Structures are given as C-alpha cells and as structure tokens.
Chains A and B, each alone.
Chain A
Amino acid sequence: QQQVKQSPQSLIVQKGGISIINCAYENTAFDYFPWYQQFPGKGPALLIAIRPDVSEKKEGRFTISFNKSAKQFSLHIMDSQPGDSATYFCAASIRSSNTGKLIFGQGTTLQVKP
C-alpha cells in the first residue's frame, strides 16, 4: 500500500511533442506529490509538486494533473526539448506525518529526439 507505480519505464518523444508520465498510488493518506528530474551523474532535483486540493498545477512547460478519485497523477511536458532528456521520478508523502519521507516511483527515462 506504500507503493507508487510509475509508467512508462522509458519514453521517446520528438522535439516539440508532449511527454506524458503517469503514476498511481494506493494509500489515500498520501497528500503531497512531487516530481523529480534527474540527469546522469546528478542528484534528483524537484521539478514541480501538487497537493490533492487542486486538480492541476502548471509551471512553464510542466503540468501535473491529479485525479484524486482514481488515485492517479501525471506529468505533462509540453513542447518537449532535447534538454528535457532525463529520468523523471514521481513521489508521494504524508505531510501530516511530519517525517518528510518520500516514496518514489520506479522512474521514467525520457529521450527527446531533435
């Protein structure tokens, strides 16, 4: 019940296209859902995050869509660029626990072709 399932495992998109990565969870106590971006040889960096009181959050070309009833959330990268090629991780946590613990999805390797 603590798992976060992420798909697809890998994704190839043409430059200018839309990249979509999906995550699903079971634990309804999760109330914070961040996405991290990781380049080779680097640590993950927070990209965008959402709380379940909103259904969508947009920051530049990156949008999170959240479906509370389906217990799913997704990352959309509009106008994908070769510089977006990286591994993306969704995650979930229970803010009220005040432990800061993040449960990560399995990761999606995105390749954006020029």
Chain B
Amino acid sequence: SAVISQKPSRDICQRGTSLTIQCQVDSQVTMMFWYRQQPGQSLTLIATANQGSEATYESGFVIDKFPISRPNLTFSTLTVSNMSPEDSSIYLCSVAALAGLSTDTQYFGPGTRLTVL
C-alpha cells in the first residue's frame, strides 16, 4: 500500500484567490489522480497527472482553472485558481501503479477541505 499526505488539510479562502494543494506519497508511483468531492456527493475525476507528461483533464475541467504539477514520482500539486464559492469541495489525490504493479488499485489521500467565501 501507499501512505499519502495532503497539505493543507483544510483552508478557508477568499473569492478570487488561488490555493495550491500538495500531495506527497511515501513511494514512487506512476499515476496520480486529482478528484473533487462536493459535500455529500461522489468523487469526480479532475485530471490524471503522470510524471514526465502533461496532465490529462476530464471534461469540464481546464488547465487554467486547475493547473497541476508533477515534478517527480512522489509529489504533485493541484492549484485551484480564481476561486469562487462553487469551488468549495474536498479535493483528493490518489495514486496507482505502485512499483510497477497494475493500475487497478488506487490509494487515496485524506483530502483537503476547501471553503471559499
């Protein structure tokens, strides 16, 4: 398995500002994913971030709003830009394909709870 940490765990931000969320994994992973989970809702994939390539965004999510960095095999950041109250959600990173294993199993971080005023 993998131990995943996210920073910050929660934040309250003002409209129009940006927040960068960090995701750190204790082992090298090929695939990292960023999800959004609105209160009481399911998980929606924002983008896939594989090291050495540009992030791949899902329909409805764009790089200008959610820029992602993946500088190495253990770390990624997601920025939520020009925030509005509609961006209030839990943001989760997950990882798959540990140490050459299959992509089947995904491990999730604890999430970052974002509130935008």
**Residues of chain A whose beta carbon lies under 8 Å from any beta carbon of chain B:** 32, 34, 36, 41-46, 49, 89, 93, 95, 98-102, 104-107
- Given A44-B108, A100-B33, A106:B45 Cβ within 8 A: no
Q: Is the CB of A101 within 8 A of B45?
A: yes
Stretch at the interface among B12-20, B65-73, B80-88, B97-105: B97-105
Q: Do most interface residues of chain A lie in helix, strand or loop, or is the interface mixed?
A: loop
Which residues of A have CB within 8 Å of B104? 32, 34, 49, 93, 95, 100
Total contacts A-B at CB 8 Å: 57
Q: Is the CB of B97 within 8 A of A45?
A: no
Q: Is the CB of B43 within 8 A of A100?
A: no
Smallest CB separation, A101 vs chain B (Å)? 6
Interface core residue of B33, B42, B94, B107 (most chain A CB under 10 Å): B42
Which residues of B have CB within 8 Å of A89? 42-43
Q: List 22 A-B contacts (CB under 8 A).
A: A34-B104, A42-B110, A42-B111, A43-B94, A43-B109, A43-B110, A44-B43, A44-B92, A45-B107, A46-B106, A93-B104, A95-B104, A100-B48, A100-B96, A100-B106, A102-B43, A102-B45, A104-B43, A104-B44, A105-B42, A106-B41, A107-B41
